[in-house]
Structure 1
Amino acid sequence: MLKKVVALVLPGTAPFEFGVVCEVFGVDRSESGGPRFDFHLATADPGPVETSLGFTMDIDQDLSVCADADLVAVPAHRIGGVDERYLQVLRDAEARGAWILSVCSGAFVLGEAGILDGRRATTHWMYTDRLADEYPRAAVDCDVLFVEDRKVITSAGTASGIDAALHLVRVEHGAAAANVVARRMVVPPQRDGGQAQYIASPVPERRADSLAEVVDWMLEHLDRDLSVDELARKALMSSRTFARRFRAELGTTPAAWLNRQRIVRAQGLLEGGDEGLEVVAQRSGFGSAAVMRHHFLKVLQTTPTAYRRTFGDRAAS
């Protein structure tokens, strides 16, 4: 389980991305049923550290606090000129099997440390070509919100760091804990890493021709076999137009979005109840326990039974 988290504060750290890490991992949400982390800020030379906007933050802990961290996070910062001491902290974290998370241009620090060699990675879409050029041994994906590859998570620009951090909370503490954090932050808890970075209309607006009402209806009827043709009729569109509009508004296909929502629904049922796997599969829309197991293995790298064993008691406590 994720307990100790250290955020690295490099010269030129970007305040928003730094704030994302602090908000997800630095706030005690135990009273709301959420997680509480042993959270620290560390820099190579304790004292004032200048941010990318010119103001300074006073950081009083040095990098030695990272030695036993379960997660080392690297917020965005001005690209270039990374102190070797930060790079060694990341190499040591990888060697002992700790999690490593970067937000936006923080991926360049991971690349400089060699952490991205042989791994899939991403960063802000404006910098993906540069990341691929500077670190050719990394498989850079320019189209996703975040990537997890063997305990290394890289996120795209700015707000996608929230998605990546919530993903890690979900992996380590379960969907219920991630939902508590998301509710407190007033953000959606379930945006999948495979969604596109650049979406024509990232959040469906409540307008007459929006898909928002159809999306709400989909969430209420996840247990049904929802075909694109049926959803298109609900939206008063052709199937082709509906599929195109859905991807433009939500950044993924209807099938992929439904699959992710069904996994989230199944996670909640497994955490908070004791119904049999067949019942959970039916209620979440997978139809059968075998199909649900297939999708859990593919997306979460675990089985529903193992997921319940890990998170069920925690959600009920």
Structure 2
Amino acid sequence: MKILVLLAKGFEMMEFAPFVDVMGWGRNDYGYDIEVVTCGFQNQVMSTFNIPVIVDKTIEEIDIAEYAALAIPGGFEEFGFYEEAYDERFLELIREFDSNNKVIATICVGALPVGKSGVLENRRATTYHLGDGYRQKQLREFGVQVVNEPVVIDDNVITSYCPETASSVAFKLLEKLTSTEQMEVVKSAMGFK
């Protein structure tokens, strides 16, 4: 199975890497049938702090039928995150994953485009909670029932509230795609308690 990691300009590396590492450990060390495919608007996406990443596919090349899940790391506004994360093509991809009941996993402000897409309306979710909760207020404006907890799961959508939660979200995604037992094997092998 494939997981699509959708990278908007200005995405945060710390929120991107756990999806690659956790799934990579599962595939490489334990033979789990999981492949991570990266995607952006261009072949090269500039992350927060100006680290370039070459992606596997551009957004126009995506056929959601090929993917079991969508992962969205958050990013920094001052590095252009919302310019692409709020683009209609980005939002439509989110809607398609949700309408096909595929798992959507976000870290930190990665929940905001999901909220803007309408997918989280009247559902429970969270996003960046520090700075007087201004990002959570933005999420609430999309009709979301904001929960101030580290990781919130509402059916097929996983959201979290800061970069520290990145590995927890990646493990939750692995668990949803495999099993609790298989996820625990990888988590233990990687030294997480």
Q: TM-score, normalised by structure 1?
A: 0.54
Aligned length: 183
Q: 2:76 matched to which residue of 1?
A: 78
One of 93, 99, 105 as aligned partner of 1:101: 105
- Residue 104 to residue 134, structure 1, CA distance change in 2 (3 Å): closer
Distance (whole Å) between structure 2 residues aligned to residue 147 and residue 20 of structure 1: 18
**Which segment drifts farther, 73-82 or 12-21?**
73-82
Distance (whole Å) between structure 2 residues aligned to residue 87 and residue 104 of structure 1: 17
One of 137, 140, 146 as aligned partner of 2:146: 140
Gaps of 5+ in 1: 189-317
Match of 1:107, SS state, is helix
One of 61, 65, 76 as aligned partner of 2:62: 65
Identity, % of aligned pairs?
22
Match of 2:104, SS state, is strand
Match of 1:101, SS state, is strand
Distance (whole Å) between structure 1 residues aligned to residue 10 and residue 57 of structure 2: 17
Shift of 1:34: 5.8
Shift of 1:65: 2.7
Q: 2:32 matched to which residue of 1?
A: 35
Letter in 2 for 1:131: Q
- Residue 88 to residue 169, structure 1, CA distance change in 2 (3 Å): same
Distance (whole Å) between structure 2 residues aligned to residue 158 and residue 129 of structure 1: 16
Distance (whole Å) between structure 2 residues aligned to residue 133 and residue 14 of structure 1: 19
Distance (whole Å) between structure 2 residues aligned to residue 84 and residue 37 of structure 1: 28
Max radius of gyration: which structure? Answer: 1
Distance (whole Å) between structure 2 residues aligned to residue 31 and residue 51 of structure 1: 26
Match of 1:5, SS state, is strand
Q: 2:119 matched to which residue of 1?
A: 115
Cα root mean square deviation, aligned: 1.9
One of 5, 8, 16 as aligned partner of 1:7: 5
Q: TM-score, normalised by structure 2?
A: 0.85
Distance (whole Å) between structure 1 residues aligned to residue 174 and residue 56 of structure 2: 26
- Residue 148 to residue 58, structure 1, CA distance change in 2 (3 Å): same
- Which is bigger in relative contact order (C-alpha 8 A, separation at least 6)? 2
Shift of 1:118: 1.0
Gaps of 5+ in 2: none
**1:215-261 superposed Cα distances (whole Å, 9 cap, x missing partner):** xxxxxxxxxxxxxxxxxxxxxxxxxxxxxxxxxxxxxxxxxxxxxxx
Q: Which structure has greater strand proportion?
A: 2
